[in-house]
Amino acid sequence: MRASIRTGHNGPMRVVVTRVMEASVEVDGQVVGELDAPGLLVLAGVGHDDTTDDAAALARKIWGLRILDDESSASDVGAPVLVISQFTLLASTRKGRRPSWSRAAPGAVGEPLVEELCRCLEDLGAHVERGRFGAQMRVASVNDGPVTILIDTKDWD
């Protein structure tokens, strides 16, 4: 992987974290990931310049966010996490009506970094369910609150 120093950041690693009562993801009619208890649904997009250090920092941030009941974090209560890759989080809509996906990393870069995010969460103690990278997925969630947080690594520079 690349070093953590950025020059001309070409798209951030970006996640949307939603507090959910339950969530699931299906591929071809089969459930591939499911939360049957309150936890966090994480949609993750990877940019060209993102690194394993970014994934590790995001994992720590997600696991420690105090957005559950009574200002608890997932780490405080052992809440499960469902991580789903979503390159569309990096869409640029600056020109015209058709989004550009040029800031999103190709699958060969994105897939290992989404998996690294999951592995880092597991190393911190999380039970992590996953979507399937690159698949057409149906995501269902019962949002709680709703509480939804956008975390963008470019804001950390």
Q: For residue 124, what are its two tokens?
A: 């911190």
> Which among 86, 136, 148, 153 is annotated as catalytic?
86
- Residue identified by tokens 């800031």 is 103
> Which among 18, 51, 87, 153 is annotated as catalytic?
87
> Which among 7, 18, 51, 88 is annotated as catalytic?
88
Long-range contact set of residues 119-123: C-beta below 8 Å, sequence gap at least 24: 120/55, 120/56, 120/58, 120/59, 120/60, 121/59, 121/62, 121/63, 121/81, 121/83, 123/59
DSSP 8-state code for residue 76: H
Q: Active site includes 87?
A: yes
- Within 10 Å of residue 125's Cβ, how many Cβ atoms? 10
Q: Active site includes 133?
A: no
Q: Active site includes 88?
A: yes
The catalytic residue positions are 86-88
